[in-house]
Amino acid sequence: MPFGTETTHTVVQGEYISLLASRYGFVDYRTIWDHPKNARLKALRKNPSVLHPGDEVFIPAREPKEEPRPTDQRHRFQVRRTTLRLRVVFDEFYYRPLDQTPCELHLASEVRALTTDDRGRIDQEIPMETQDGILVLKPTTGPVEHMPFRLGVGRLDPVEERSGQVKRLSNLGYYRTPVEEFDAREFRSAVEEFQCDSGLSVDGICGPATQAKLKDVHGC
């Protein structure tokens, strides 16, 4: 996009603010996220990594930065980048976090050998435009089979949307049908089981209280 043009971007599945920032040439996603014209979106979604297809994001015009320098010299321009992090915590049903567990993160350019910390977490900086990858858990104790997960970075929809509820319930092990397919019976059963495990009243309806709990338990 040329300098000095503003636009409105309609979000498709898998897009999130950092990705848009990178794509539109901003080094800091906050230039977009904190822009007054995105205030309503920000209030609605709260998390810049959790957008919903169809959300409209205002993309402000980029200001060219002028910094006069003498020629014939080498100049260093330090680019200030905001980082994108992949943060996942693993645990087991009716057990505790999967701590000190080896795993592998396969990204487009590299494979990283990792180990979860004592709270079952991995916390990795990943390239700004990452949309997919594979994470393989390789437990040495506990469940001993290698478990591959196909990462969908930025594919977690807002919890107010049904797809966002399905995806969180899937990550938490309740919804067992592939998340791309909506299975009403499985969804209801998953919601009820989640409500039951979380001490909510069990009615199978994912209303505001259940949504809030879901977001809380899932972590975002």
Under the binding rule (CB under 8 A), the answer on residue 148 touching another protein is yes
d(C-alpha 136, C-alpha 38), whole Å: 37
Give me the least distance between CB of 1 and another protein, in Å please.
22
Q: Is 22 left (phi over 0), alpha (psi -120 to 50) or beta?
A: alpha
Q: What number of CA atoms fall less than 13 Å from residue 57's CA on the CB side?
A: 28
d(C-alpha 168, C-alpha 69), whole Å: 51
Give me the least distance between CB of 75 and another protein, in Å please.
30
Under the binding rule (CB under 8 A), the answer on residue 103 touching another protein is no
Under the binding rule (CB under 8 A), the answer on residue 198 touching another protein is no
Among 37, 193, 200, 211, binds another protein (CB under 8 A): 193
Whole-angstrom Cα Rg for the chain: 20
Under the binding rule (CB under 8 A), the answer on residue 18 touching another protein is yes
Among 44, 61, 108, 217, binds another protein (CB under 8 A): 217
d(C-alpha 72, C-alpha 75), whole Å: 9
Among 67, 79, 185, 208, binds another protein (CB under 8 A): 185
- Choose the binding region for another protein from 1-9, 36-44, 52-60, 178-186 (rule: CB under 8 A): 178-186
Give the tokens for residue 139: 């437990």
Give me the least distance between CB of 114 and another protein, in Å please.
14
Q: Output the CA–CA distances (angstroms, integers) from residue 114 to 6, 55, 219, in the order listed.
A: 41, 35, 21
Give me the least distance between CB of 108 and another protein, in Å please.
15
Among 179, 187, 206, 210, binds another protein (CB under 8 A): 179
Under the binding rule (CB under 8 A), the answer on residue 157 touching another protein is yes
Q: Which of residues 37-76 bind another protein (CB under 8 A)?
A: 47-50
Distance between first and last Cα of the chain: 32
Question: Which residues fall within 8 angstroms of residue 182, CB to CB, at 6 or more apart?
Answer: 162, 166
Question: Which residues fall within 8 angstroms of residue 83, CB to CB, at 6 or more apart?
Answer: 125
- Kindly list the residues in this chain that would bind another protein in the complex (CB under 8 A): 16-18, 29, 47-50, 82, 84-96, 98, 121, 126, 130, 135, 137, 139, 141-145, 147-157, 167, 170-173, 176, 178-180, 183-185, 189, 192-193, 196, 202-204, 217-220
